[in-house]
A and B are shown apart, each in its own frame.
Chain A
């Protein structure tokens, strides 16, 4: 059987193909920057996010002065006292209503997003992939039907509804948010692994392994799994970006990461009441979300194009 993409990849090499895919390069740069900022925030942030600099609260970013178009109604009529939205040079992205540095909060928020998304995707892979492989190995059995029907059922609950159900019972927390996003990832990976494994089970090298006396379990892990790794990595990237979006949405509703841990969704929720007086608080964390999600999506799409251009993205 001819495998054109694999051949192309082997002949040209991953790196030279990667450089020719502009989306991939942008994706790597954006995602790399995002991860770098998150790691950096472990060791250094411009300011401590737990310190309230009350005299300097609700400062605008200094650059707002030269971005002429961003001129919003003045702050005189605000409910927060008699401050003016003026900038002070030490806060590069301004401060929030407690006087916390927005730049530092966005940096720590990147860490929160990554942590939640990694664990949620991890749950999906660790539980979903074995389920999918097992279902494919026992096609037609009761177990197979059961797994597939359960998958369909989980798909019928939008992820947000699962999260709402869980928080309604256990109360809001980062842990519950992770579980909720993770549960939704399980059928995604189970379905993907099953579909890819099913087509591999008909191939000759699997037949050879069976003839050699290997059991279904060993074949699944020693032969099927390595061959669907590419797919899993691509889907993992996509789910990672969806996880960041989901975390932001849950935290925005107040049922995700709880204060005082900074998170982008939480920052947006707090910014909403102050949108008339301090619009930068609403704009900046959102841009952080957009750039990181965009980076991960470009990375995933680029990887898919390089590893196998024929693959279709599965967004559901």
Chain B
């Protein structure tokens, strides 16, 4: 287990280095002069030069990269060009919208997908199963931002149960904050829950076809007993991978959903960064999101190794 963890750690390290090089390269090397890009075409040469000085663009690239990474390690991302405040402050502020939203959506998606997937597998080929599979097929096809708009139409415009957008803030109390995240989380969770339910079902069906399930049935366990005691545990492994993968989809999905509901999260921050050409904000937030995805993948890998010793040797 130790060797396995160490190997994964080394690979985690190289992934992070590679990802940071890519982000740095795309943002700072390819466009030619980032300062000119950020100021737009009407900027005076003096103003561009001043920004170049301020951003340290006159240093050689490897030194800029080293400075940037050293800053990242100390949670110092530089100063936003448009907000005139430290990017780390912006991120500290906004992460408390994006992170709860992602976790909320992931929880919802798992809570919906598990029972639905298990029921579909337990009643394979019944009308219930066909209905569930049809519904999930539809759920996968629905773009989450459109689903969000439909939710707004029904629950905010017609029924007036929720507000159509904005964030109450955690100062208003936990429930008020959660309430403003509810529609966005549902919109994010639906397509993911559909995928997860399908994976849950097919993984359970695979497990139910194994020899040891037949043995369990032969020794006298009922169908539901074999399902709950034997199949479910083993069928969960592929589901865990998908949950890990979904984290990255949810983070990316949050970028769109936050814009639908005008939530002041990281997604909205990075989007505003693009429209205002604030490359420092874009670079930092993108790096942070990629970092989160890589670390979650690492955690899933380790969890795997703990859950299933066979996987430790396989790599």
Q: Which residues of A contact B (CB under 8 A)?
A: 23, 72-73, 149, 152-153, 156-161, 164-170, 241, 245, 248-249, 252-255, 268, 271-272, 275-276, 279, 282-283, 285-286, 289-291, 293-294, 297-298, 301, 312, 315-316
**A159–B158 alpha-carbon span in the complex (Å):** 34
- Report B-chain residues with C-beta under 8 Å of the C-beta of A298: 137
- Report A-chain residues with C-beta under 8 Å of the C-beta of B245: 316
B163 at the interface (CB under 8 A from A): no
Option from B19, B141, B150, B255 in Cβ contact (under 8 Å) with A241: B141
B252 at the interface (CB under 8 A from A): yes
- Report A-chain residues with C-beta under 8 Å of the C-beta of B307: none
Contact A286 B143 (CB under 8 A): yes
**14 sample A-B contacts, Cβ–Cβ < 8 Å, listed by A number:** A23-B137, A153-B15, A156-B290, A157-B19, A160-B252, A161-B289, A165-B23, A170-B31, A248-B143, A253-B259, A276-B157, A282-B146, A294-B138, A312-B202
Extra inter-chain contacts (6) besides given A153-B18, A157-B293, A275-B152, CB under 8 Å: A164-B274, A268-B145, A268-B146, A275-B164, A285-B146, A297-B140
**A158 with B252: in contact, given A241-B141, A282-B149 (CB under 8 Å)?**
yes
- Report B-chain residues with C-beta under 8 Å of the C-beta of A286: 142-143, 146, 149-150
| Closest partner residue, chain B, to A254 (CB atom) | B275
CB distance from B256 to the nearest CB of A (A): 6
9 shortest interchain CB distances as A-B pairs:
A158-B252, A286-B146, A294-B141, A293-B141, A160-B252, A168-B282, A169-B31, A168-B274, A290-B141
Considering only CB atoms and an 8 Å cut-off, how many residues of chain B contact the other chain?
A: 53
Residue from A241, A271, A282 with most neighbouring chain B CB atoms (10 Å): A282
**A94–B26 alpha-carbon span in the complex (Å):** 43
**A58–B250 alpha-carbon span in the complex (Å):** 34
B195 at the interface (CB under 8 A from A): yes
**A164 with B27: in contact, given A268-B149, A286-B149, A312-B202 (CB under 8 Å)?**
no
| Closest partner residue, chain B, to A294 (CB atom) | B141
B197 at the interface (CB under 8 A from A): no
Contact B256 A252 (CB under 8 A): yes
Residue from B15, B153, B259, B274 with most neighbouring chain A CB atoms (10 Å): B274
Contact A164 B282 (CB under 8 A): yes
**A167–B271 alpha-carbon span in the complex (Å):** 10
CB distance from A109 to the nearest CB of B (A): 13
Encoded as 1 (CB less than 8 Å from any A CB) or 0, chain B from 254 to 265 comes to 011001100000
Contact B150 A283 (CB under 8 A): yes
- Report B-chain residues with C-beta under 8 Å of the C-beta of A254: 275
| Closest partner residue, chain A, to B26 (CB atom) | A165
Option from B18, B22, B26 in Cβ contact (under 8 Å) with A169: B26
**A283–B252 alpha-carbon span in the complex (Å):** 23
**A215–B153 alpha-carbon span in the complex (Å):** 61
CB distance from B245 to the nearest CB of A (A): 5
